[in-house]
Structure 1
Amino acid sequence: MNTNLMIGRSIPAEEYKEIRRQERAEMDRIQEQIDNWSNPRVQYRGHDIPVDLKDLLETTVAHFPERALFKQKFNRNEPFREITFRQVLDDVYALGTAFLDLGLREKKIGVIGKNSYQWCETYLAVTGGVGVIVPLDKELHEEELKQITVKGELSAVITVENKYYETFKAIKESGESQLEYVINVAMEEDESPKDGYISWNKLRETGRKAVHNGDRKYIDAPVVNTDLSVILFTSGTTDVSKGVMLNQKNLVLDTYLAQTLLEVRQGEDTFFSILPLHHTYECTATFLECVYNGTTMAICQGLKYIVKDMQETRPNLLLGVPVIFENLYNKITRNVRKSGKEKQLNTLFRINRVTKKIGLDISKRATKQITELFGGELRTVICGGAAVDGDILDYFGDLGFRSVQGYGLTECSPVIALNPDNAKFINNKSAGYLFPLSECKIVDKDEDGCGEICLRGPTVMMGYYKDPERTAEAIDSDGWYHTGDLGYIDEQEYVYITGRKKSIIITGNGKNVYPEELEFYLQKSEYISESMVWGDETNADPTRRGIYATIRVNKEAIEDKFGADYSKEQVTEFINREVDKANEKLPLFKKITHVIIREREFNKTTTHKILRRDEDNKWA
């Protein structure tokens, strides 16, 4: 395992020339291997694999200089503005040069704030020959951000919005970190440059002048693709958060391998960006994928602007997490039901599944009104980040979209499996088809053949930052990363997830129950918004032992059924009947025996996953 932490280091010219030759040769060997792959699921071939992120950008600029890399609204009431690949490269050269002039070579540099061109430019500038980028979760509180600043040894933080600028000013002034610079995108002039409070815009212009005057120290700065490039702190309480270390080889290969299973039209397509960029799913699978393919990243202004922004930007690909697709599905199906056309549409879908096999799609005219909500040009939707009901993705497929799900973890850069978008090979009951060059094995199998999923391949992380003990626990001596996810892999190399190792319920008779499986059945009900299944087998009162489901109802669906003046008793009785329906699909030892209706939101991580270990989440 490579543990070199010296990104941006000085390397003698001849030595660097040989490093680049070896890197290029390795990528060419991988390219040839993929080009000769005979597996019909691996059906797309991109252009040459770049050796690093700097090469990624420079190569694409050479092919698509005037293509828009970003579409963004810089003010709410303005139209989307385009930033071309050529402009991005010029700006990255300028900003990177300015960072080096501040003395940030080989330093850790944080970036925080909303999705924006400025966030992405900062990421590319730092990884292009300055130091290590540390994307920061904008949902964290000041104390948590301070702990990460200290733990990650950040020398500078770029803040995209003023509220984060004030937060990091306070962190710097506390004197408890080694933070030297707080650089704010949201101000035009420096506040106090001698104290390290600097305008991002003014700093970039300083770098631009230096480049114009012939300064090439950043343009020619060495980048070694096996050096540490990105640290991603996992969500959770920061005293146990882990800094996932990724190098540029991890990232460029993950970007390349993803598009071997899914069509991306180079120089043509537009991706719609909803998810936060500090999560590596969005960063790799939307942002870096766009940079690699010469495609456009249309940046959504926020969740409440999704429909408006999609209609304005007319994207071709949309990445999301289950909650986004579940909400869209519920709204679409509810409106169809209200229109009285549900039975007619479902009949059409059944017929269309047959006719599509011979290349005839008869549903387009009937679904046009729905698909126009997404801009009218949407071709592919990809779901990741957590398990999703395959029936929901199949419904989007019935609407006329290629609808697939994938599987990944931050520690794997992140995507490791993806359903091919070819209709013959889509299997949305699985989490995805294993990437080329990747290996999967199942250890500690139970009587059903399920066990812990272990992964090995070129996208697996370098380790956890300054945490050799946890690294050794996660990656064994043979290079297998132990995910903590439970599941199995079938003979065709599709991966199936059944639950998390840490969340297993062991019943009184010694049987293993995966709460995620039970939650999957509960979520089939449109009247259940969220649920958390948990077990209590130690209660002193035997009647209180068993499997519990704490449930939040879908108030909109409940109101549609009972009216706005529904009673608590009505809801309780009705939800218990919905749980009974789920129980009908389960063997006796898995049946839910206690139901709790919860009014409040569940306490969640910043990635909006319910905290299972939070005792408060169990109760009403």
Structure 2
Amino acid sequence: MKNGELYKVRPINDLKDMLNSSAEIYGDKAAFLSKPKGGSDYIPISYKQYKSDVDAMGTALIDLGLKNRKIALIGENRYEWSISYLSVVNGTGVIVPLDKELPANEIELLLKRSEADAIIYSESVKDKIEPLYEKSTSIRYFISMDKEKNDGSILSFHLLLQKGHNLLKEGKRDFIDAKIDATEMTALLFTSGTTETAKAVMLSHKNIAENLMGMCSMLYIDEKDTFLSVLPIHHTYECTCGFLCQIYRGCTIAYCEGLRHIVKNLKESKATMMLGVPLIFESMYRQIMNQAIKSKGEKKIKLAIKLSDILGKIGIDIRKKIFKQIHEALGGHIRLFISGAAGIDPQIAKGFRELGIFLVQGYGLTECAPIVAVNRDIYYKDEAAGLPLPDLQVEIDNPDEDGIGEIKCKGASVMLGYYENPEATAAAIKDGWFYTGDSGFFDKDGFIHITGRKKNVIITGNGKNVFPEEIETLLNRSPYIKESLVYGKGQSDGDTIICAKIVPDIDKIKEDKENNLLTDESIEKIIDIEVRNINKTMTNYKHIKEITLKEEEFVKTTTKKIKRHEELKD
């Protein structure tokens, strides 16, 4: 591997092997920092305790008759969710993680599609789940993470866990001795989209274990790290990279109490790493810089960045000292942010690094368990999605004159297929290659660059391809634009014009008007000037010709991706 050897990782055959070996190696070390309901402090839970709880819950689930069955799991990021996940996949059956933000009717449809026999859920979604008991569904067991006692049809998670511990003491070993077939389906994951079109991705132990080993060989993560778990854990990005990866490497996982508590929880947990999406990091960076500029002045901040850059070139790193306040505001221990789910503006990654906080981005899909490529901590390009994982073949299919084509991959972390959908599987996997639906290219150093979703590409009248994501990045750099959505609109003459829906940052506009940094013009005029300036930086066929302003933010998935087609369906 160019610019640095791969990091050594211990081989694992499956997730059961991973948990057993981690419990042996890390024993009494904290695997989790959890906050009980109403608790103000994080309470540590050791690796030994976690393995014991997983074994107990798995034993109890098998005792209920759920061996080889599908079990749905829905709720916020919490310790009980993590117990449930591995207690199902490590010897009971197939896990079906669901998005807690979905409306009740969609959850019901996904439960039917997955043919789940049981559901483990938290109090936060009980109003969506418990009414399903009255309906004739396939679900035999409703298991509540929060009920203290069994309530007729609804079982208490904690009583079940207690029962499992008792069964283990009595010598019941069905779960502990269960053999894992690493090539069989172990997880059924619904992709984002409406429930009718959402595909159910089938992943095996091998898919996930291979992805964990490949990813950890590229980024240095060890038992001294504490991860703040922020993103929805049902999503494969957070589940593999913010939960399973940490258990594999001996880290501690601290659960975030919600997006507005990120900064508080970073301090309380002394987190060293956090996984996020561009929207979270862009918002954090803007807030940090705005506060720093207010307190120190823009000239001083720019001078400090320039000075630390110059000293950095001769091996002197003063960033943590010179930007001490910023580091303390983020808890004082953060060393690495990892961004995924969508491309991040390279200027944000560079901006964090100038402050002494490393930010790398990666690229993946649920169908690839999920990581395909990642920037390394010792070899990176802010504008690239990263380098392919070591044992994954990645190629560009049918590249054009600029080397851009559809990204395809082949390897042990590529899914088994789509559940009960042979047509979709055959369309996505050809000759062992998974076709991602993303367009991109390789540069001369082997980094993958994503140009956008193949289905989002705008083809102009003269046959030029315009990737909306590229223009959105430029628009979102404006301090007066909160978010944007770029699309093409056909004209009667056969041409296609570039249009943009824009959500202005009203607070920033107001603030700058009050500070006389903006003339008292209408919001429409201010945004129009911003768009004209951006147009000047692009070739003519990419120019935005039509703007629509929106007051409300765009509808998003739980990983904060704009639901593009929902926004453009009118």
Deviation of the 1:615 alpha carbon: 5.3
Does 2:532 match 1:580?
A: yes
**SS of alignment partner, residue 230 of structure 1:** strand
Deviation of the 1:142 alpha carbon: 0.7
RMSD of aligned residue pairs (Cα, Å): 1.9
Code of the aligned partner of 2:267: Q
Deviation of the 1:348 alpha carbon: 2.5
Deviation of the 1:457 alpha carbon: 1.5
Aligned to 1:433: 387
**SS of alignment partner, residue 126 of structure 1:** helix
Aligned to 1:154: 116
Cα distance 1:616–1:249, how it changes in 2: closer, same or farther (>3 A)?
Answer: closer
Aligned to 1:552: 503
Write the distance in 2 (CA, Å) between the matches of 1:615 and 1:190.
Answer: 44
Does 2:329 match 1:366?
A: no
- Structure 1 contact 450–487 (Cα < 8 Å) conserved: yes
Write the distance in 2 (CA, Å) between the matches of 1:539 and 1:558.
Answer: 37
Write the distance in 2 (CA, Å) between the matches of 1:385 and 1:349.
Answer: 29
**SS of alignment partner, residue 485 of structure 2:** strand
Does 2:130 match 1:174?
A: no
Aligned to 1:442: 396
Deviation of the 1:93 alpha carbon: 1.0
Number of residue equivalences: 569
Deviation of the 1:567 alpha carbon: 11
- Structure 2 contact 513–520 (Cα < 8 Å) conserved: no
- Structure 1 contact 314–374 (Cα < 8 Å) conserved: no
- Structure 1 contact 603–617 (Cα < 8 Å) conserved: no
Deviation of the 1:440 alpha carbon: 1.2
Write the distance in 2 (CA, Å) between the matches of 1:545 and 1:39.
Answer: 43
Does 2:442 match 1:489?
A: yes
Matching residue within 184, 187, 204 for 2:147: 187
Write the distance in 1 (CA, Å) between the matches of 2:419 and 2:6.
Answer: 36
- Structure 1 contact 272–315 (Cα < 8 Å) conserved: yes
Q: Which runs of 4+ in 1 moved over 6 A?
A: 564-568
Does 2:469 match 1:516?
A: yes
- Structure 1 contact 165–182 (Cα < 8 Å) conserved: no
Code of the aligned partner of 1:224: D
Aligned to 2:546: 594
- Structure 2 contact 403–442 (Cα < 8 Å) conserved: no
Deviation of the 1:616 alpha carbon: 5.6
Cα distance 1:564–1:239, how it changes in 2: closer, same or farther (>3 A)?
Answer: farther
Deviation of the 1:342 alpha carbon: 2.0
Question: After superposition, where does 1:251-270 map in structure 2 within 5 Å?
Answer: 251-265=208-222, 267-270=223-226
Cα distance 1:343–1:41, how it changes in 2: closer, same or farther (>3 A)?
Answer: same
- Structure 1 contact 69–85 (Cα < 8 Å) conserved: yes
Write the distance in 2 (CA, Å) between the matches of 1:372 and 1:241.
Answer: 42
Write the distance in 2 (CA, Å) between the matches of 1:350 and 1:473.
Answer: 51
Write the distance in 1 (CA, Å) between the matches of 2:499 and 2:351.
Answer: 30
Matching residue within 523, 531, 534 for 2:484: 531
Identity of aligned residues (%): 40
Does 2:301 match 1:345?
A: yes
Aligned to 1:103: 65
Does 2:44 match 1:88?
A: no
Cα distance 1:442–1:159, how it changes in 2: closer, same or farther (>3 A)?
Answer: same
Matching residue within 465, 477, 481 for 2:419: 465
**SS of alignment partner, residue 117 of structure 2:** strand
- Structure 1 contact 41–420 (Cα < 8 Å) conserved: no
Does 2:360 match 1:404?
A: yes
Moved more, 274-283 or 68-77: 68-77
Aligned to 1:3: none
- Structure 1 contact 140–606 (Cα < 8 Å) conserved: no
Aligned to 1:11: none
Write the distance in 2 (CA, Å) between the matches of 1:545 and 1:320.
Answer: 35
Matching residue within 37, 44, 48 for 2:7: 44
- Structure 1 contact 523–529 (Cα < 8 Å) conserved: yes
Aligned to 2:513: 562
Write the distance in 2 (CA, Å) between the matches of 1:120 and 1:567.
Answer: 53
Aligned to 1:315: 271
Write the distance in 2 (CA, Å) between the matches of 1:107 and 1:300.
Answer: 31
Write the distance in 2 (CA, Å) between the matches of 1:545 and 1:166.
Answer: 46
**SS of alignment partner, residue 564 of structure 2:** coil
Moved more, 238-247 or 565-574: 565-574
Deviation of the 1:209 alpha carbon: 0.6
- Structure 1 contact 49–253 (Cα < 8 Å) conserved: no
Code of the aligned partner of 2:525: E
Write the distance in 2 (CA, Å) between the matches of 1:533 and 1:457.
Answer: 34
Write the distance in 1 (CA, Å) between the matches of 2:270 and 2:241.
Answer: 19
Code of the aligned partner of 2:411: G
Aligned to 2:75: 113
Code of the aligned partner of 1:164: V
Cα distance 1:127–1:568, how it changes in 2: closer, same or farther (>3 A)?
Answer: farther
Code of the aligned partner of 2:268: E
Gaps of at least 5 residues in structure 2 are: none
Aligned to 1:230: 187
Deviation of the 1:357 alpha carbon: 3.5
**TM-score in terms of structure 1 length:** 0.89
Write the distance in 2 (CA, Å) between the matches of 1:411 and 1:357.
Answer: 41
- Structure 1 contact 69–296 (Cα < 8 Å) conserved: yes
Write the distance in 1 (CA, Å) between the matches of 2:314 and 2:392.
Answer: 33
Write the distance in 2 (CA, Å) between the matches of 1:242 and 1:339.
Answer: 49
Question: After superposition, where does 1:38-77 map in structure 2 within 5 Å?
Answer: 39-46=2-9, 48-77=10-39
Write the distance in 2 (CA, Å) between the matches of 1:218 and 1:537.
Answer: 59
CA-to-aligned-CA distance 1:437-484 (integer Å, 9 cap, x gap): 11111123233221111111111111111111101111102x111111
- Structure 1 contact 611–617 (Cα < 8 Å) conserved: no
- Structure 2 contact 275–337 (Cα < 8 Å) conserved: yes
Deviation of the 1:597 alpha carbon: 1.1
Cα distance 1:208–1:474, how it changes in 2: closer, same or farther (>3 A)?
Answer: same
Does 2:451 match 1:498?
A: yes
Moved more, 608-617 or 224-233: 608-617
**SS of alignment partner, residue 565 of structure 2:** coil
Write the distance in 1 (CA, Å) between the matches of 2:341 and 2:568.
Answer: 24
Deviation of the 1:536 alpha carbon: 1.1
Deviation of the 1:493 alpha carbon: 1.9
Code of the aligned partner of 1:612: R
